[in-house]
C-alpha cells in the first residue's frame, strides 16, 4: 500500500495539545502523512481558551480543495468547526469528492468551558454532516446535547447511540472520559446493530487536554492505513491510554497528553 494520507479539518490550538496540532502529531506517530484545513485559530494554553478567531467557509473549502485536487487522502476527520456556515461548506466539499472514511468528532466545548461550536450550528451538524459520517465520536456531554437526552446510566448511553445513528452516522462511539467510573474509562461502540465496549484503566491525572482530538486522530490514522474499524478502534484506545499515562506536566493548568508515548512503548 502507498503512504497513507489523512486530513484534519479543525481548529488550531496554539498550546499544541488539542486541535490541529494534536491531530498532526498523532498522524505522524502512526506513520500517516498528515494534512490540515484550519477552521479557526484559538489562542489557548493549559489554563483555557483566551480567544477564538474563526476563518471563513471559503478559506476552509479552498484549503480542502488544494488537497483534494492534488494530493488526495485516505481518511479525514473533523474537529472544531465553530459555525453552521463552515459545517455546510465542509459537508458540501466532502460530498463533492465522495470521501467516505469520515470521522466526526463533534467538538463543542473545551474542558475549561469555552464554546468551540456555536449553539446555532448544532442543527447543521446533525442534518449536513452526520449523514456523511462513518464514525461519530462524541463525549457524554456532546451526546447529550446532540440528542437532547440525559445520560446517567448505561441504558441512556445506548439510547443516545441509537438516536445518533438514526441521524445518519454509521458508527457511534460514546467516549467514557466524562462518566463517573473511578476504575475504568469505557467507550461504547454502536455499529447500527450491536453494542461493544472498549475498556481502559482510568488514569488519575489532570493532564487530559486534547484527549478527544487525539483519540479521533488515532482512529482516523488507523482507517487511513487500511485497518478495519475494530482494529483501528483498538489501536486508538491503546494510543490514548499511553498518551494519558504519559501526560505532560507543562504550563499552569491541564497539561496535554503525550503523543509519543504509544510509539515509545511499542518499540
Ligand X SMILES: Nc1ncnc2c1ncn2[C@@H]1O[C@H](COP(=O)(O)OP(=O)(O)OP(=O)(O)O)[C@@H](O)[C@H]1O
Known catalytic residues? 175, 208, 210-213
C-alpha cell at 30: 502512526
Q: Does 19 bind ligand HMH (CB under 6 A)?
A: yes
Contact mark string toward ligand HMH, 197..216, x via CB under 6 A = -------------x-xx---
Closest CB to ligand HMH among residues 176, 210:
210
Q: Which of residues 206-235 bind ligand X (CB under 6 A)?
A: 208, 210-213, 215
Q: Which residue is nearest to ligand HMH (CB)?
A: 19
Binding-site size for ligand X (CB under 6 A) equals: 21
Closest CB to ligand X among residues 221, 244:
244
Q: Which of residues 165-184 bind ligand X (CB under 6 A)?
A: 175-178
Name which position in 18, 38, 161, 236 contacts ligand HMH (CB under 6 A). 18
Among ligand HMH, ligand X, none, what binds residue 13 when CB lies within 5 to 8 Å by partner kind?
ligand HMH
Instruction: Write out the residues near ligand X by the rule CB under 6 A.
Output: 18, 111, 139, 175-178, 185, 187, 200, 202-203, 208, 210-213, 215, 237, 240, 244
Amino acid at each position: 500500500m502507498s503512504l497513507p494520507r489523512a486530513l484534519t479539518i479543525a481548529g488550531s490550538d496554539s498550546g499544541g495539545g488539542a486541535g490541529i496540532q494534536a491531530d498532526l502529531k498523532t498522524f505522524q506517530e502512526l506513520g500517516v502523512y498528515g494534512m490540515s484545513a484550519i477552521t479557526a485559530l484559538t489562542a489557548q494554553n493549559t489554563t483555557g481558551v483566551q480567544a477564538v478567531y474563526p476563518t471563513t467557509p471559503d478559506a476552509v473549502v479552498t484549503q480542502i480543495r488544494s488537497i483534494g485536487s492534488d494530493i488526495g487522502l485516505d481518511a479525514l476527520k473533523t474537529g472544531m468547526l465553530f459555525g453552521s456556515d463552515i459545517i455546510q461548506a465542509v459537508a458540501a466539499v466532502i460530498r463533492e469528492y465522495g470521501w467516505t472514511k469520515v470521522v466526526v468528532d463533534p467538538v463543542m466545548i473545551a474542558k475549561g468551558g469555552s464554546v468551540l461550536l456555536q449553539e446555532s450550528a448544532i442543527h447543521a451538524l446533525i442534518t449536513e454532516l452526520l449523514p456523511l459520517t462513518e464514525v461519530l465520536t462524541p463525549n457524554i456531554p456532546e451526546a447529550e446535547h446532540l440528542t437532547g437526552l440525559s445520560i446517567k446510566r448505561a441504558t441512556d448511553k445506548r439510547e443516545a447511540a441509537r438516536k445518533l445513528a438514526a441521524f445518519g452516522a454509521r458508527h457511534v462511539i460514546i467516549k467514557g472520559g466524562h462518566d463517573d467510573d473511578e476504575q475504568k474509562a469505557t467507550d461504547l461502540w454502536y455499529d447500527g446493530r450491536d453494542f461493544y465496549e472498549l475498556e481502559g484503566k482510568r488514569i488519575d491525572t489532570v493532564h487530559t487536554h486534547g484527549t478527544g482530538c487525539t483519540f479521533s486522530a488515532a482512529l482516523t490514522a488507523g482507517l487511513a492505513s487500511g485497518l478495519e474499524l475494530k482494529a483501528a478502534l483498538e489501536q486508538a484506545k491503546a494510543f490514548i491510554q499511553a498518551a494519558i499515562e504519559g501526560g505532560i506536566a507543562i504550563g499552569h493548568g491541564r497539561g496535554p497528553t503525550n503523543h509519543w508515548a504509544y510509539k515509545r512503548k511499542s518499540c
